[in-house]
Amino acid sequence: MKPITAPQTKASIGSGVDPRSVQLTEDGKLRHFLTLGGLNKDILEEILDTADSFVNMGEQSVKKVPLLRGKTVVNLFFENSTRTRSTFELAAKRLSADVLNLDISKSATTKGETLMDTLQNLEAMGSDMFVIRHADSGAQHFIASQISPNVAIINAGDGRHAHPTQAMLDMYTIRKHKGDFAKLKVAIVGDILHSRVARSQIQALNILGAQEVRLIGPKTLLPASLAEMGATLYTRMEDGLKDVDVVIMLRLQKERMDGALLPSESEFYRLYGLTTEKLSYAKPDAVVMHPGPINRGVEIESAVADGPQSLILHQVSYGIPIRMAVMSMAISGQTQQKAKDAALSASTESGANSDKNTDGEEASA
């Protein structure tokens, strides 16, 4: 087994590697998709543009393309989420990949098999991509950097840390319906503390240059340190929603009611639930989004969720093209990096037993 950190040479005080570089190739292309932190505007726009191509393709009678033909994508959901898993599965299938769904929470780990063993076995079976959801923040980082660097890792949600594909489909929705980010004020409302979606949205909006990102909620769900991610904090809807172009409502987990975070659902709804009345504080043409599934009457009024300003159903439909874009980009980056590594090891140690370039494809058209 290799040492857990890259060996540091010389000085030990305070040295460390930029962890966010884990997801990029030497040429700055995506090889994993773990977080939006550390990515630049070009990559985010490339994701959105590529998704655009796939959205257009959705109008074709044949919705399938052979980009990932012969590749194996494994959906590893350590937390259950049928919805998210289904969109990843459909996305992979539309790219012609072979898809394996593993409900880890029920199978291997309960038999005492460790996370590491499971992943290494799947890797040995020739998997090209792991789509992972995990309850621990940073689990996908750990897997991409320590266990399976040669398998493209797509983060489908880790702890409270990140849910980058959800955030990107939200960005796609905003761009499609509201245009230039530089002119937009966006408010995110609700349980920010526990929300990986909110963290990824804040990062995405900042990278894409949104005019202002606002967070609205009671202080129990809105740690002050969030401001340092590039957001303005509000505790009152009247103030926070004033003149915004986009309102993103977050799902309030029922189990949060058990702790001392909130007194009751009804009080939360009264203060922070998005009603037609509260929506009127925003710009008249403001749009309303929600990552779903919605708790009607807890964080949003039905009339708003189903109303003319709601983009909630659009968000759902963009989930597949965004995931197709990210998956095809990551496989491409990963393959290029592997080819480069293989060429390097072949040139340094001639005849070495380097990994074969798995795609037998030839020169370009």
Partner 1 sequence: MTDNQRLVIRSNKDLPEVEPLLEQMTDALHQRIRLLGLDNIALVGIHSGGVWIAEQLHDRLGLIEPMGTLDISFYRDDYTRVGLNPSVKPSNLPFATESRHIVLVDDVIMSGRTIRAALNELFDYGRPDSVTLVTLLDLPGRELPVQPDITGQKIQLPEGARIKLSPDPLALTLLEPADA
Partner 2 sequence: MNLTIRGGRLIDPAQQLDEVIDIHIADGRILALGQAPAGFAPERTLHAEGQVVSPGFIDIGAHLREPGPSYKGNLRSETKAALAGGYTSICCRPDTNPCIDSSAVVQQIMDKVKLLGQAKVRPIAAMTKNLEGTHLSNMAGLQHSGCIAVSNMRNAIEDTLILRRCFEYASTFDLRVVFYPEDSWLRGDGCAHEGALATRLGLGGIPAAAEAIGLSRVLHLVEVTGVRVHFSMLSTAQAVEMIARAQAKGLPITADVAMTHLIYTEAEIDGYNSQFFVQPPLRSHADRDALRQGVRDGVLSVITSAHLPHEEAAKMAPFAASEPGMATLETLLSQGLELVKAEVISLPQLVERLTIGPAQAMGLAVGSLAVGQAADLCIFDTESEWQVNDDSLFTAGENTPLMGAYLKGQVQTTLVDGSVVFER
How many Cα neighbours within 13 Å face the side chain of 242?
A: 7
CA geometry: angle 296, 302, 306, nearest 5 deg: 125
- Out of 57, 100, 261, 316, the only residue in the binding site for partner 1 (CB under 8 A) is 57
Residue 115 or 298: the one with the smaller Cβ distance to partner 2 is 115
The Cα–Cα gap between 131 and 65 comes to: 20
**Of 188, 208, 210, nearest to 199 (Cα)?**
188
The Cα–Cα gap between 204 and 168 comes to: 7
Residue 361 interacts with partner 1 (CB under 8 A)? yes
Stretch that binds partner 1, among 60-68, 138-146, 190-198, 345-353 (CB under 8 A): 60-68
Residue 89 or 128: the one with the smaller Cβ distance to partner 1 is 128
> Binding partner of residue 359 among partner 2, partner 1, none, CB under 5 to 8 Å per kind?
partner 1
Contacts of 109-117 spanning 24+ positions with Cβ under 8 A = 109/78, 115/143, 115/147, 116/147
Residue 26 interacts with partner 1 (CB under 8 A)? no
- Touching partner 1, residues 84-113 (CB under 8 A): none
Q: Which are the contacts of 23, defined by CB distance < 8 A and separation ≥ 6?
A: 30, 31, 32, 33, 34, 35, 38, 39, 144
- Out of 52, 79, 98, 341, the only residue in the binding site for partner 1 (CB under 8 A) is 52
Residue 342 interacts with partner 1 (CB under 8 A)? no
The Cα–Cα gap between 25 and 31 comes to: 6
Residue 58 or 223: the one with the smaller Cβ distance to partner 1 is 58
Maximum Cα–Cα distance across the chain: 72
- Out of 3, 7, 16, 66, the only residue in the binding site for partner 1 (CB under 8 A) is 66
Stretch that binds partner 1, among 65-73, 115-123, 199-207, 228-236 (CB under 8 A): 65-73
What three-state secondary structure class fits 96? coil
Minimum gap (Å) between residue 357 Cβ and partner 1: 10
Contact 189, 240 (CB under 8 A): yes
Minimum gap (Å) between residue 111 Cβ and partner 2: 17
**Roughly how many angstroms between the first and final C-alpha of the chain, as a whole number?**
42
Give contact residues for partner 2 (rule: CB under 8 A). Answer: 1, 3-10, 12-14, 16-20, 22, 37, 114-116, 134, 136-139, 141-142, 145-147, 158-162, 196, 199, 223, 225-226, 228-229
**Of 244, 71, 81, 67, nearest to 165 (Cα)?**
81
Residue 11 or 62: the one with the smaller Cβ distance to partner 1 is 62
> Binding partner of residue 57 among partner 2, partner 1, none, CB under 5 to 8 Å per kind?
partner 1
> Binding partner of residue 13 among partner 1, partner 2, none, CB under 5 to 8 Å per kind?
partner 2
- Out of 15, 61, 225, 350, the only residue in the binding site for partner 1 (CB under 8 A) is 61
Minimum gap (Å) between residue 64 Cβ and partner 1: 7
The Cα–Cα gap between 330 and 232 comes to: 33
Strand partners, 215: 188, 233
Provide the binding-site residues for partner 1, judged by CB under 8 A.
29, 46, 49-50, 52-53, 56-57, 59-62, 64-67, 328-329, 331-333, 335-336, 339, 359, 361-365
